[in-house]
Amino acid sequence: MADEGHHPFSRSSLALRAMTDRNVRRHAARMADRLEPGEHLTKVESVTGPLKDGAVPDGPVVGAADTIAKRFRNEVQREQPWLLCVTDRRLLFTWITARPIDRTVPLDDVLGLERLGRRGLGVRFSIHLRDGSHLDFAATKKAFSRLSDALGGFPAG
């Protein structure tokens, strides 16, 4: 598990890569009104989720009434298409068209991504969160790879 002050992903190179990222250029104007003053969009990918987890429907934190993942799952419909936007401060889950259900997770609460396996032509993955919960999504292999580069993998063990 990461130290309190250490994050398993580096934010320093994100700004450099973002300037050449096609999805960021494509969606930057649409996302401008959703960003906080001074916040920079670094990565945008299409994902589907949160996925149903048959074994543990409310996430891995048994008995926890208020986890990040549980709040997210309770506030949105499952298996929905999202634009997952990585900024220099947070993950922003949004729609291409404006809807009042944008969701955010501060980057300080994100430990990393873990690939769970294949799902059709794409991959299923988990976003692991500092409170021990996780959110499962699906994306294309390329989208997962780019998100993993931006956020880092989940430390094993």
Span 37-64, pLDDT tens digits: 999 888 999 898 888 764 444 444 443 5
Q: Is the model's pLDDT at 14 over the cut of 50? A: no
Instruction: Determine the structural domain holding residue 47 and report its residue range.
Output: 14-151
Q: Is residue 102 part of a domain?
A: yes
- Average pLDDT, integer, range 130-144: 91
Number of domains in the chain: 1
Buried b (16+ CB within 10 A) or exposed e, 41-59: bbbbbebbbbbebeeeebb
Binning pLDDT at 50, 70 and 90, where does residue 125 land? very high
* CATH number for position 33: 2.30.29.30
CA–CA distances in Å: residue 17 to residues 12, 42, 54, 151: 10, 7, 37, 13
Q: Is residue 49 part of a domain?
A: yes
Per-residue confidence (pLDDT) for residue 121, from 0 to 100? 79
Lowest mean pLDDT among 39-43, 101-105, 125-129, 135-139: 101-105
- Are 50 and 72 contacting, i.e. CB atoms less than 8 angstroms apart? yes
Q: Is the model's pLDDT at 89 over the cut of 90? A: yes
Q: Is the model's pLDDT at 106 over the cut of 90? A: yes
